[in-house]
Amino acid sequence: MDYLLRDLRRTHYSKDVNPDISGEEVIIMGWVHEIRDLGGIIFVIIRDRDGLVQITAPSKKVDAEILEELRALRKESVVAIKGTVQEAGKAPNGVEIIPIKTTILNPAKQPLPMDPTEKVKAEIDTRLNSRFLDLRKANVSSIFKIKANMFKAVRQYFDEQGMIEINTPKLVASATEGGTELFPITYFEKEAFLGQSPQLYKQMMMGAGFDKVFEIGQIFRAEEHDTLRHLNEAVSIDCEISFADDVDVMNVLDGMITRVLQSTKENCAKELETLEYDLSAIPEGPFPEVKYDDAVDIINSKGIDMEWGEDLSREAEKALGDTQEGFYFLTDWPSAIKPFYAMPYEDRPEISHAFDLMYKNLEISSGSIRVHQYDLLVKQMIERDLNPDGFGSYLKAFEYGMAPHAGWGVGADRLAMVLTGVENIRETVLFPRDRHRLTP
Ligand code: ATP
Ligand code: MG
């Protein structure tokens, strides 16, 4: 056992150990996945970030000292193993490593609170309690590799669109949209809140002349609901564009989602296979559009009662989602159920230039043309029982040359649900925060 690496370094990841390098000496580092001692031969499977590799130690070929070291290994301990690569038809990647030296870098305490190699599925709570172990499972880590690729594709796409990445504060003095869905915090001698959305700041950037901005950041919602699609801390991909309307930003959103679908299929084939998920079944854009007026009719025709003007209930979302193949836009919402910053239609002010992007029955994004006229903005705040005095520094940006603009926010964790096929949003977040969970 040696806790320090000294001059020991990994030469290969498991995925790079293949028959082409047979005869070569390699050093692999990772976790003990499995040990099988058959007396005359010991098999140890080592797992690293990218997969598995087999160590084969026949007692005739390998020193007694090494056999003893291998026998002493415990599951999930961290090890470095030096050995010679040899072709082996049945082993992972068609190769095995005949060990020359074993170094235990850190032994794992036994018994494990959760076995990352077990085939039976543990309950989500048990898994989250030992999330570091849970994340060692290939199907679980695949979700996060797909999510990382998603953010990469999003940034590439935004870059091509000429957008500027921004970071806005998450410690804020007032609510974005009013309401009680805020976490209050103590900010020295004042009360402050955790930001529920970068909405007001990204709009102010349209008054700053940045034209096209995006932000990928945390949002905090103090909602009490306990569902498979809500968390109290989530990541939002936000976009705001000046001199653009709802159709323009819906096209950008359509393009972004399509790019993400393509990129996932291209770069994450192995992870999708591990998850046994067929992403190619989801149609790429352009996505169809359903107007709110029509949605009400469709929903009622499915036997779900819904009045014009109401938000969609969960049942309504499901009934409408069942009529759709995948992603679709739900447009022209009643103004009264959209935020104060959504632009009403000129000729029919009871509806607004607001849209949601849905994936079947899951809301992925909300967006709209924004109100850029100071007076209308104040009027819409008052109509929603919001006090404009609380929005002074935001409103000021609308008095001195605010460009007309539109934008949207996408729930990144919800989009990751679509890309990985999981049904619980908790699966797509490393350390989820919900009504009952603040650790780990
Ligand atoms: P919902 O109606 O599903 O509760 P919302 O309309 O309240 O969502 P918005 O304020 O429109 O949400 O936020 C924009 C996007 O951010 C949503 O479409 C969703 O993808 C994501 N989002 C919002 N709230 C949450 C949450 N609590 N957990 C995870 N993602 C969220
Ligand atoms: Mg919404």
Q: Say whether 222 counts as a known binding-site residue.
A: yes
Give 411 Cα–ligand 1 centroid separation in angstroms.
6
The answer to whether residues 131 and 89 touch, using CB atoms and an 8 Å cutoff, is: no
- How many domains would you assign to the chain? 2
Q: Say whether 136 counts as a known binding-site residue.
A: no
User: CATH number for the domain including 265?
Assistant: 3.30.930.10
Nearest CA to ligand 1 atom 10: 366
For the CA of 364, the nearest atom of ligand 1: 20
User: CATH number for the domain including 39?
Assistant: 2.40.50.140
- The pLDDT assigned to 178 comes to 64
Q: Say whether 411 counts as a known binding-site residue.
A: yes
DSSP summary character for residue 434: B
Q: Say whether 131 counts as a known binding-site residue.
A: no
For the CA of 231, the nearest atom of ligand 1: 28
Token digits of residue 91: 């082993």
Inter-helix orientation angle 412-420/246-267, to 10°: 40
Query: 101 with 172, same domain?
Result: no
pLDDT in tens, 249-283: 999 999 999 999 999 999 999 999 999 999 999 99
**CB under 8 A, 24+ apart: contacts of 266-269:** 267/149, 268/142, 268/145, 268/146, 268/149
Query: 199 with 276, same domain?
Result: yes
For the CA of 356, the nearest atom of ligand 1: 18
Nearest CA to ligand 1 atom 29: 230
β-strand partners of 83? 26, 99
- The pLDDT assigned to 175 comes to 62
- The pLDDT assigned to 121 comes to 78
List the domain range (segments joined by +) for residue 346: 134-288+324-428
Task: Give the C-alpha separation, 82 to 25, whole Å.
Answer: 7
Any domain includes 218: yes
Query: 249 with 336, same domain?
Result: yes
ω before 113 within 30° of 0 (cis)? Answer: no
Nearest CA to ligand 1 atom 25: 230
Token digits of residue 334: 């009643």
- The pLDDT assigned to 287 comes to 98
Identity of the amino acid at 119: K
Query: 95 with 156, same domain?
Result: no
Nearest CA to ligand 1 atom 26: 230
pLDDT in tens, 101-151: 999 999 999 999 999 987 777 899 999 999 999 999 999 999 999 999 999
DSSP-derived 3-state class of residue 328: strand
Query: 183 with 88, same domain?
Result: no
Residue 92 has pLDDT above 80, yes or no: yes
The answer to whether residues 323 and 363 touch, using CB atoms and an 8 Å cutoff, is: no
Beta-strand runs (E) in 299-431: 327-331, 354-359, 362-369, 405-411
Q: Say whether 407 counts as a known binding-site residue.
A: no
DSSP-derived 3-state class of residue 287: coil
Among the listed residues 350, 341, 331, the one whose alpha carbon sits nearest the alpha carbon of residue 405 = 341
Other beta carbons less than 10 A from residue 316's beta carbon: 21
Query: 85 with 151, same domain?
Result: no
For the CA of 177, the nearest atom of ligand 1: 10
SS (H, E, C) 42-79: EEEEEEECCEEEEEEEECCCCCHHHHHHHHCCCCCCEE
Q: Say whether 34 counts as a known binding-site residue.
A: no
Task: Give the C-alpha separation, 68 to 62, whole Å.
Answer: 10
**Helix (DSSP H) and strand (DSSP E) numbers for the chain:** 12, 16
pLDDT in tens, 2-39: 788 999 999 999 999 999 999 999 999 999 999 999 99
Give 228 Cα–ligand 1 centroid separation in angstroms.
12
Nearest CA to ligand 1 atom 31: 411
Q: How would residue 416 be classed by pLDDT, with cut points 50, 70 and 90?
A: very high
Query: 93 with 196, same domain?
Result: no
Query: 261 with 401, same domain?
Result: yes
- Ligand 1 pocket by Cβ (under 6 Å): 221, 223, 230-231, 234, 236, 363-366, 409, 411, 413-414
Can you give the pTM of this predicted structure?
0.96
Residue 302 has pLDDT above 90, yes or no: yes
DSSP-derived 3-state class of residue 150: helix
Any domain includes 439: no
Query: 177 with 284, same domain?
Result: yes
pLDDT in tens, 377-392: 999 999 999 999 989 9
Nearest CA to ligand 1 atom 27: 230
User: What is 207-262 written as a DSSP string?
Assistant: HTT--EEEEEEEEE-------SS--SEEEEEEEEEES--HHHHHHHHHHHHHHHHH
Token digits of residue 290: 């359903």
Handedness of CA 229, 302, 253, 220 (dihedral sign): negative
Query: 337 with 421, same domain?
Result: yes
Q: How would residue 56 be classed by pLDDT, with cut points 50, 70 and 90?
A: very high
Q: Say whether 230 counts as a known binding-site residue.
A: yes
Q: Checking DSSP bridges between strand 78-87 and strand 25-37, what pairing results, if any?
A: antiparallel
Nearest CA to ligand 1 atom 18: 365
For the CA of 366, the nearest atom of ligand 1: 11
Among the listed residues 406, 297, 295, 305, the one whose alpha carbon sits nearest the alpha carbon of residue 358 = 295
Query: 94 with 151, same domain?
Result: no
Query: 84 with 221, same domain?
Result: no
Give 356 Cα–ligand 2 centroid separation in angstroms.
6
Q: Which ligand is nearest to the CA of 357?
A: 1
Tokens 């291209």 correspond to: 266
For the CA of 408, the nearest atom of ligand 1: 14
